[in-house]
């Protein structure tokens, strides 16, 4: 939801100037003395005409007695139609109202229109405790799947439905698909989850590092949809029942928010496990078209690595650089429609024959001057097409840390490198989806260390997660580590690739599940491992999934420093000031590992600097230091 979240963030921090009153300064509330907050409203993006023949709205009651609000947009024609269902916590149950027609929606109006015109009934349902729906909001806990399965069967039983049901959408709408499909409701035929948050730990404490900065914008977004979109549609329809429920849900959110979850469960425990959708992904039996963005600025691309638990014969995977809202891309939506036509309608349209199991959009960019056009315009500069990628398709490439260097052949003895902690760090991108490098802090040479390889002798397609296996020492009992991967081009410009984070006391590994390229941490409070001053410890930092083509002549670089704002992730790091050291010698061999995908040949020319989505360029800071 790039557009909505960006506007909400701006609203959350903006103030307006108002006349001075009762001796107060201009722009201050006379009662509190605080700056007057600018009321939030969704931006005016345009208007679309109704594209459906009939709109049906109502409520259905789940087995546990919860009334969920739904809306259906029916296509032209008579009889029964296949149904495409979306479930989220924003405004899915209110689609088709006047806010929706002005693009004030978390749904993709373009996708809904594409599907309705293709003969699908498009149905939206608000999750329990959101919008007009009753019950208690439980986010991604098992209730979401149970209610989703009941929504599928409710849709299949309606007079306008032919009983063939598919599911679409992204973010919350992606999570609801995974939760629903694990229960295998009889009439569900296929799902298209994008940017699915499978485990709130990925957004709230990646690597065990608290990141509360995501929570308040998320809450503002939730509440704004209910207040500004759902309520407006209900007023226009005269739905007093909905308006009363919206008021109840807003009141309940004050005592049942993500912030409450974050404060009550700052580390993983049995309750937090109940939010993890990836654990049971192997139960999904329907075809899946999955979309993920490597630089997803809202939830990261981890998704609990749920795709690895699916039956590969039922999975088609699309990956790309870019934002949380890449689901809006016109090219992807065309693929999603073909997928649904094949597996929901049952058409023999060649999808299985001509669609590779893995499609990686490389160096994706956007075009257009207007916001709506840019939103649907992302496309790949070039594409990698493969079958289901297995471990044997990747070559594990190791680079050993030396004094300022990355060596590909052997450990590089040298004195340990130190940096002052905590440092300010360098921001990359923002929650709104802007592609940017933040400014270097004044003391960056003291608060970070960098390691750079020699120019690469051949092209290298780095794919999937990576691992920074570091020997570190700190004297404060704990510290938070950030590893940033970049490409240093021959023209002296440095391109952002990916990041990963780890709280050092959270370094205990699940050795049975960890691989050379993917460290899996136990994440259990009873297995925390505080540091002792001067004693080196071995810590594996998971570097998030990536798909980046390093060209011959470029150099690979990693930075190690304090976690810094990355998209919507804003960290609350361990605060004790100290010196952190990274060791690299024969006894303490620190290295970084990447998976290199075989048999990939990309274009020789580099992409235009600054055009590749969420992979910003900057002049090499070390060259001018």
Please compute the mean of the pLDDT values over residues 147-166 and round it to a whole number: 98
Higher pLDDT, 101 or 218: 101
Before 422, cis peptide (omega within 30)? yes
Average pLDDT over residues 17-46: 69
Q: Which pLDDT score is estimated for 26? A: 56
What interhelical angle do 109-117 and 330-340 show, nearest 10? 40
pLDDT tens column, 47-60: 999 999 999 999 99
Quick one: which of 384, 288, 292, 386 has its CA closest to 342? 288
pLDDT digits (tens, 9 = 90+) for 364-379: 999 998 889 999 999 9
The average pLDDT across 417-421 equals 97
Instruction: Please state, rounded to an integer, the average pLDDT across all residues of the chain.
Output: 93
Q: What is the mean pLDDT of residues 7-35?
A: 55
Q: CA-CA-CA-CA torsion for 218, 219, 223, 229, nearest 10 degrees?
A: 0
Give the pLDDT confidence score for residue 181 in this predicted structure: 98
- Residue 606's pLDDT is 97
Q: Which two tokens stand for residue 580?
A: 């952190």
Look at residue 558 and tell me whether its pLDDT is greater than 80: yes
* Residue in the block written with tokens 């599911």: 167
Q: What integer is the mean pLDDT of 90-99?
A: 97
Q: In the chain, pLDDT over 70 holds for what percent of residues? A: 96
Residue 324 above 90 pLDDT?
yes
Residue 156 DSSP SS3: helix
Mean pLDDT of 216-243: 94
Task: Give the pLDDT band (50/70/90) at residue 19.
Answer: very low
pLDDT band at residue 11 using 50, 70 and 90 as cut-offs: very low
Q: What is the pLDDT of residue 281?
A: 97
569: how many CB neighbours lie within 10 A of its CB? 26
pTM of the model: 0.94
Range with lowest mean pLDDT among 191-195, 257-261, 563-567:
257-261
Q: What is the mean pLDDT of residues 561-589?
A: 95
pLDDT of residue 8: 47
> Residue 25: which pLDDT band, with cuts at 50, 70 and 90?
low
Segment 131-152 mean pLDDT: 96
* Band of pLDDT at residue 3, cut at 50, 70 and 90: very low
- Mean predicted confidence (pLDDT) in 259-285: 90
- Residue 233 CA: distances (Å) to CA of 48, 70, 105, 226, 243: 16, 13, 11, 10, 10
| Domains of the chain and any CATH numbers | 1-41 (no CATH), 43-305 (3.40.50), 394-619 (2.60.120.260)
**Closest to 322 measured CA to CA, from 473, 194, 183, 447:** 194
Find out whether 582 and 470 touch, Cβ atoms under 8 Å: yes
Residue 39: which pLDDT band, with cuts at 50, 70 and 90? low
Any residues with CB less than 8 A from the CB of 607 and at least 6 apart, and which? 363, 365, 381
Tell me: the pLDDT tens digits for 456-495? 999 999 999 999 999 999 999 999 999 999 999 999 999 9
Give yes or no for residue 22 having a pLDDT over 50: no
Task: Express the helix, strand and coil content of the chain in percent, nearest 5 each.
Answer: 25, 30, 45
- Nearest 10 degrees: CA dihedral of 339, 341, 344, 346? -110
Averaged pLDDT, 173-192: 98
Whether residue 7 is predicted with pLDDT greater than 80 in this model: the reply is: no
Task: Tell me how far apart the alpha carbons of residues 226 and 248 are, in angstroms, rounded to a whole number.
Answer: 11
DSSP conformation letters of 305-359: GGGGGS-GGGEEEEEESS-TTGGG-HHHHHHHHHHHIIIII----SHHHHS-SEE
Q: Which of 256, 607, 537, 584 is nearest to 400 (CA)?
A: 584
pLDDT tens digit string along 56-74? 999 999 999 999 999 999 9
H/E run at residue 174: helix 172-181
- 613 within 8 A of 517, measured Cβ to Cβ: no
DSSP state of 248: H
Distance between CA atoms of 149 and 176, rounded to whole angstroms? 10
Q: What average pLDDT does the segment 183-196 reach?
A: 98
Instruction: Classify residue 142 as exposed, middle or buried by CB count within 10 Å of its CB (0-12, 13-18, 19+).
Output: middle
């Amino acid at each position: 939801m790039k557009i909505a979240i960006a506007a909400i963030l701006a609203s959350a921090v903006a103030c307006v100037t108002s006349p001075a009153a009762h001796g107060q300064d201009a722009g201050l509330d006379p009662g509190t003395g605080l700056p007057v907050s600018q009321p939030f409203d969704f931006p005016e993006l345009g208007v679309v005409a109704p594209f459906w023949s009939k709109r049906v709205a109502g409520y259905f009651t789940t087995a546990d007695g919860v009334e969920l609000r739904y809306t259906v947009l029916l296509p032209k024609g008579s009889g029964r139609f296949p149904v495409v269902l979306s479930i989220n916590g924003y405004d899915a149950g209110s689609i088709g109202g006047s806010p929706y027609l002005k693009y004030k929606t978390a749904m993709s109006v373009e996708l809904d229109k594409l599907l309705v015109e293709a003969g699908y009934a498009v149905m939206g349902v608000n999750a329990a405790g959101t919008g007009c729906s009753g019950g208690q909001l439980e986010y991604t806990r098992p209730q979401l799947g149970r209610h989703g399965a009941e929504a599928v069967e409710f849709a299949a039983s309606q007079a306008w439905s032919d009983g063939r049901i598919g599911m679409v959408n992204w973010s919350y709408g992606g999570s609801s698909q995974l939760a629903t499909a694990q229960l295998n409701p009889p009439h569900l035929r296929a799902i298209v989850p994008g940017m699915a948050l499978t485990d709130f730990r990925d957004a709230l404490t990646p690597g065990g590092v608290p990141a509360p900065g995501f929570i308040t914008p998320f809450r503002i977004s939730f509440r704004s949809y209910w207040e500004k979109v759902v309520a407006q549609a209900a007023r226009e329809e005269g739905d007093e029942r909905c308006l009363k429920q919206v008021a109840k849900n807003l009141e309940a959110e004050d005592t049942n928010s993500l912030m409450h979850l974050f404060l009550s469960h700052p580390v993983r425990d049995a309750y937090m496990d109940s939010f993890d959708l990836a654990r049971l992904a192997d139960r999904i039996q329907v075809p899946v078209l999955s979309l993920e963005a490597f630089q997803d600025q809202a939830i990261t691309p981890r998704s609990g690595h749920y795709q690895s638990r699916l039956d590969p014969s039922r999975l088609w995977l699309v990956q790309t650089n870019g934002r949380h809202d890449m689901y809006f891309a016109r090219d992807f939506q065309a693929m999603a429609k073909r997928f649904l036509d094949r597996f929901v309608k049952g058409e023999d349209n060649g999808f299985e024959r001509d669609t590779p199991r893995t499609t990686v959009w490389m160096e994706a960019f956007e075009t257009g001057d207007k916001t709506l056009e840019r939103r649907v315009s992302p496309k790949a500069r070039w594409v990698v097409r493969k079958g289901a990628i297995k471990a044997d398709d990747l070559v594990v490439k190791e680079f050993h840390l030396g004094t300022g260097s990355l060596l590909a052949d052997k450990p590089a003895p040298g004195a340990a490198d130190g940096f002052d902690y905590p440092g300010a760090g360098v921001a990359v991108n923002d929650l709104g989806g802007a592609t940017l490098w933040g400014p270097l802090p004044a003391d960056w040479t003291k608060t970070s260390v960098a390691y750079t390889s020699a120019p690469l002798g051949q092209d290298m397609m780095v794919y999937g997660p990576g691992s920074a296996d570091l020997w570190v020492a700190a004297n404060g009992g704990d510290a938070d580590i950030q590893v940033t991967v970049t490409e240093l081009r021959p023209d002296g410009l440095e391109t952002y690739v990916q990041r990963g984070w780890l709280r050092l006391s959270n370094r205990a590994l699940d050795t049975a599940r960890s691989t050379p390229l993917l460290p899996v941490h136990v994440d259990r409070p009873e297995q925390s491992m505080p540091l002792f001053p001067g004693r080196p410890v071995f810590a594996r930092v998971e570097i998030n999934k990536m798909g980046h083509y390093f060209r011959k002549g470029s150099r690979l670089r990693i930075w190690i420093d304090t976690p810094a704002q990355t998209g919507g992730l804003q960290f609350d790091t361990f605060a004790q000031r100290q010196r952190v050291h990274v060791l690299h010698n024969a006894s303490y061999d620190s290295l970084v590992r990447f998976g290199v995908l075989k048999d990939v040949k990309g274009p020789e020319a580099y992409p235009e600097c600054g055009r590749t989505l969420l992979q910003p360029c900057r002049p090499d800071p070390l060259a001018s230091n």
